[in-house]
Structure 1
């Protein structure tokens, strides 16, 4: 895939070079004909037509006609050049994993206007105890942040999911690491890691965040069917979600210390649930900027076994983990 992208990029570069050479030849001919630099700027960059009405002089009439013709040619060439450059940038950007997904400037520029009713009158997280599916049904598709206490305490994952358990899965399942690079996604946040293999290659002292070691926090999506099958033997879809809800074909793991994700919104297609399997995490939610005049931010702390439900497509959020604790969560989408 990388080789194909490189070949496409080289092809685009050759096309740009050809157009550049045509511009050089065109500019040289115009200058030889008597067109000034100022006129060239007006023709090609200010998109103005400089048509001189000259009487009596055949040379000036030809000059004027030539400028009009060149204006059209120049405009066409510029359009082609811009299209090639834009197409090259977009294709190569999309072909680079994690470049676009982590570029919040692009996301923010394309974010649709928010309906502020999603956060109006929300002053705290809505907390449930032993909630049933029927009791939860009125809130299931709401943008209201919710916390279901102890809903995952009975999952085997509360005991079995560890750094070393996840490492063993990826080392033993053929193609597991490759799936992260080719189909899934890894978020390395502020770490120096470049792949999941790097994450699982760190020394034990750093895994445990012993004194002198740098803190780390990463997340990744699991879309390899064999990996997903093994993992889902240790947890289930939260029991309170609607029976007819659609669920994603991939789940997410987030693991590490100290500050988790920085303030951001998620560009995902559905609502999100996240089960806290290890450690304590504090969520901070902030409404979209266009709702600042109506809504206010909230924060809440999550204990092991709790399940958080947040519309992370609309609520800006960051997370902080209790000092010295490793946080491990599993999450997915529904809708």
Structure 2
């Protein structure tokens, strides 16, 4: 039985070797690693063979993991410097995507109008993204919701030091360590994009009920979402031209929508590795008033703000 298991392991290791080389690993390094494994396996006594097999498999897994990391860096991410530290665990733990979400897509579908029924059939729960032009047309947010207004609301909150609680804050490439720090650091010159002012981009989920109430007065549930769907925490993103979020994938539970309240922002959506053979990277530019719907748990995504003014967007997950 041990001889049979040993031969079976040899065949599996050889198969892994071929796959690693196929995925662009260095053949010489792989051969050297596997040669050492096979040599050690053959030389060990019966007493030590089980332990040797364990270490051989471990070395193989490490080698394959190195190939996976190399693939992520060279094939999935545009710029390795933009990789977040948690990206690899997210990639290894996320569910395998259904590639029908991106098959035959060469651009993000864009609608001037879409019914609830058509949206639910094509986009609501299929992970296929969509842009609904002027989706915020009946909102007052584009006239009344500004970054300065949000800043005043938050800083006027009595418990501003603890306002975030367990809610998320992302400082991206800035030095901001909290939402309060960001609001206190972003000057009028930075808001007005005056020449020489530093670039900045931040995002956060809102945990304050009073601010949620204000935002809901200025916006509403997007008209195309299914009647039965519910919305959850509000997310807010803001920043200056030329910057945005680096490419990443989220670990939220549901698909989401994001409305462009001010400015223009381009989204770049990259399919997951298992779909790259039939899918391609696609882009969508949101003008003021547009709404994008995308499953950020399945699509790798990045954003870039256009010149002219700061960008402000709000969004939410939905079920």
- Shorter-chain TM-score above 0.5: yes
Alpha-carbon deviation of 1:309? Answer: 0.4
Alignment of 1:196 with 2:196, yes or no, is: no
Alignment of 1:147 with 2:131, yes or no, is: yes
1:128-143 maps to which residues of 2 (within 5 A)?
128-139=111-122, 140-143=124-127
Aligned counterpart, 1:272? 256
Alpha-carbon deviation of 1:134? Answer: 3.0
CA distance in 1, matches of 2:261, 2:107: 23
> Once the two structures are superposed, what CA deviation does each residue of 1:272-314 show, in whole Å capped at 9, x if it has no partner?
1000011111111110012111111111211100010011111
More moved, 113-122 vs 255-264: 113-122
Q: SS state of the match for residue 295, structure 1?
A: coil
Aligned counterpart, 1:53? none
1:253-292 maps to which residues of 2 (within 5 A)?
253-257=236-240, 258-292=242-276
CA distance in 2, matches of 1:305, 1:265: 25
Alpha-carbon deviation of 1:209? Answer: 2.5
CA distance in 2, matches of 1:136, 1:113: 24
Higher relative contact order (CA 8 A, sep 6+): 2
Alpha-carbon deviation of 1:115? Answer: 2.5
> Once the two structures are superposed, what CA deviation does each residue of 1:231-260 show, in whole Å capped at 9, x if it has no partner?
111101101100111221x10110012221
CA distance in 1, matches of 2:316, 2:260: 12
Q: TM-score, normalised by structure 2?
A: 0.70
Q: SS state of the match for residue 159, structure 1?
A: helix
Aligned counterpart, 2:193? 209
Aligned counterpart, 1:33? none
Structure number, greater radius of gyration? 1
CA distance in 2, matches of 1:146, 1:245: 17
Alignment of 1:227 with 2:224, yes or no, is: no
CA distance in 2, matches of 1:327, 1:210: 14
CA distance in 2, matches of 1:309, 1:117: 16
Among 98, 102, 110, which residue is 1:127 paired with? 110
Q: SS state of the match for residue 200, structure 1?
A: helix
Alignment of 1:184 with 2:181, yes or no, is: no
CA distance in 2, matches of 1:168, 1:285: 34
Q: SS state of the match for residue 232, structure 1?
A: helix
Aligned counterpart, 1:314? 298
| Contact 2:160–2:180 (CA under 8 A) maintained in structure 1 | no
1:13-32 maps to which residues of 2 (within 5 A)?
none
Alignment of 1:107 with 2:129, yes or no, is: no
Q: SS state of the match for residue 121, structure 2?
A: coil
The number of aligned residues is 236
Alpha-carbon deviation of 1:169? Answer: 1.1
Q: Closer, same or farther in 2 for the Cα pair 1:235/1:176, shift >3 Å?
A: farther
| Contact 2:191–2:310 (CA under 8 A) maintained in structure 1 | no
| Contact 1:265–1:316 (CA under 8 A) maintained in structure 2 | yes
> Once the two structures are superposed, what CA deviation does each residue of 1:60-109 show, in whole Å capped at 9, x if it has no partner?
xxxxxxxxxxxxxxxxxxxxxxxxxxxxxxxxxxxxxxxxx962122123
Alpha-carbon deviation of 1:49? Answer: 8.4
Alignment of 1:118 with 2:101, yes or no, is: yes
Q: TM-score, normalised by structure 1?
A: 0.67
- Structure 2, unmatched stretches of 5+, are 1-45, 49-83
Aligned counterpart, 1:237? 221
